[in-house]
Amino acid sequence: MTRVFNFSAGPAALPEAVLAQAAAEMLDWHGTGMSVMEMSHRGSDFMGIHAEALADLRELLAVPANYKILFLQGGGLGENAIVPLNLMRGKSGNQNEADIVITGVWSEKSHLEAQRYGKMNIAASAVDTGFTAVPVVESWKLNQNAAYLHLCTNETINGVEYHFMPELEATHGAAFKDMPIVADMSSHILSRPVDVSKYGLIYGGAQKNIGPAGLTIAIVREDLLLNDASETRAHSMCPSVFNYKTLADTDSMYNTPPTYGIYIAGLVFKWLKAQGGLTVMETHNRAKAALLYGYLDATSFFESRVNKADRSLMNVPFFLKDESLNAAFLQGANEAGLKQLKGHRAIGGMRASIYNAMPLAGVEALVAYMKAFERAH
Ligand SMILES: Cc1ncc(COP(=O)(O)O)c(C=O)c1O
């Protein structure tokens, strides 16, 4: 068996120990004589797996008691509709507008989808920079009637990450003190600790840093489920399977949840705890990113185009100065067991996604290959 270094942006590499455990338990989970995939989601075995996954995630992210963790389906793009359907009516029940900051391809998609459900105000956009920076918070044009502010805190394609928490009251005044912040954290959730209490809603597809595609995680502050009249805040057309209140009330068991995805996510949560939790993961992730960006900054053969302060620790797009060498670079990388380095078609070039499961050795091998390629050309 040969395992490669897989730099895919998602579905992405998972910890080898997790895959080995899942393989060992595939045919007979804990003496039950069946795979987790074959279990009833309402049976005690799966209910135990589900409850443990929830508890471990709550512990890892220190999720406060007034937040619900939901396991649902639909992926990151599903949330672009599910979020407005649940939250856009706001506290008063008739707000029907929200703000968004556009920092790349994914927040642009969030904007386009959400505006089908109400008015989406672009508070700021980094389009003028070619999506290489987070617009300074002081420049955001926020709207007091917005039910929430939507951010994509790590743009997977553009490689732009928020390394700060917007403090809207400080920058925009008391009227924005309670503006809920909705964050698409699909591609950096669990890469470092975050203060969940600063957000109204955090969501992410699992297939980058958590587990297999098919599971979506949402962490929502309970008061956002209801309006001022204590009725569900969701639009009446919101499908029941995507109604956060319904999911919260049924412990994400309103319909059949993505059971195998939850099981693998649960194994990843245990693996993260065994590594020492998110503070330790952040240290590893910073060391990996520093190695790669350090080389990109030191050479004139490759370049990173993202503003230094906003560079993603998870997704590192980079470009060869001479793009006619792209095919040769990728072919050599493939032969060296460094896979899926081709950049997203939206921006071209290369991209190394270095999520939690990517060991430092993978980034060392990549940088060694890049140096050798530079010498040879
Ligand atoms: C930040 C971000 N948001 C949303 C998505 C879309 O996720 P999905 O394909 O699960 O719908 C992605 C996928 O790569 C992403 O990186």
Nearest ligand 1 atom to the CA of 216 is 10
Single residue among 273, 303, 335 that ends a domain in this structure: 273
Is 2 within the bounds of a domain?
Answer: no
**Could you tell me if the CB of 76 is within 6 A of ligand 1?**
yes
Residue 105 CA, ligand 1 centroid: distance in Å: 10
Nearest CA to ligand 1 atom 13: 76
| Residue 200 and residue 257 share a domain | yes
User: Which atom of ligand 1 is the closest one to the Cα of 156?
Assistant: 16
Same domain, 259 and 287: no
The model's pLDDT over 50-106, given as tens digits with 9 standing for 90+, comes to 999 999 999 999 999 999 999 999 999 999 999 999 999 999 999 999 999 999 999
Residue 313 lies in a domain: yes
User: Residue 52: exposed, middle, or buried by beta-carbon count in 10 A (0-12, 13-18, 19+)?
Assistant: middle
Q: Tell me: do 160 and 93 sit in the same domain.
A: yes
Q: What's the structural domain count of the chain?
A: 2
Say if residue 177 is in the same domain as residue 251: yes
Q: Are residues 304 and 241 in the same domain?
A: no
Query: Within a domain: residue 11?
Result: no
Q: Does one domain contain both 349 and 219?
A: no
205 lines ligand 1 (CB under 6 A): yes
Phi-psi region of 287 (alpha: psi -120 to 50; beta: other; left: phi over 0): alpha
Q: Is 212 in the pocket of ligand 1 (CB under 6 A)?
A: no
Range of the domain at 285: 276-376
pLDDT digit string (tens) for 17-44? 999 999 999 999 999 999 999 999 999 9
Same domain, 208 and 335: no
> Distance between CA 108 and CA 86 in Å, rounded?
20
CA pair distance 368, 363, nearest whole angstrom: 8
Whether 4 is in a domain gets the answer no
Q: Which of 273, 305, 325 is the last residue of a domain?
A: 273
Atom nearest to 205 CA in ligand 1: 10
Q: Whose CA is nearest to atom 10 of ligand 1?
A: 75
pTM over 0.85: yes
Read off the CATH number of the domain in which 309 is found: 3.90.1150.10
Q: Which of 273, 301, 333 is the last residue of a domain?
A: 273
Q: Is 152 in the pocket of ligand 1 (CB under 6 A)?
A: yes
CB of 118 closer than 6 A to ligand 1?
A: no
Three-class DSSP category at 201 = strand
In the predicted structure, residue 2 carries a pLDDT above the cut 90:
no
Q: Are 253 and 312 in the same domain?
A: no
Helices 44-61, 259-275: axis angle to 10 degrees equals 40
Q: Are residues 338 and 289 in the same domain?
A: yes
Whether residue 194 sits in one domain with residue 101: yes
CA 104 – ligand 1 centroid, Å: 12
DSSP element (H, E) containing 27:
none
Claim to verify: residue 180 and residue 105 sit in the same structural domain: yes
- 82 is a domain residue: yes
Residue 345 and residue 238 share a domain: no
* Those residues with Cβ within 8 angstroms of residue 356's Cβ, 6 or more apart along the chain or in another chain: 15, 190, 191, 209, 272, 281, 284, 285
Task: List residues with catalytic annotation.
Answer: 106, 184, 208
The CATH number of whichever domain residue 207 belongs to comes to 3.40.640.10
Q: What is the tens place of the pLDDT at every residue in 115-151?
A: 999 999 999 999 999 999 999 999 999 999 999 999 9
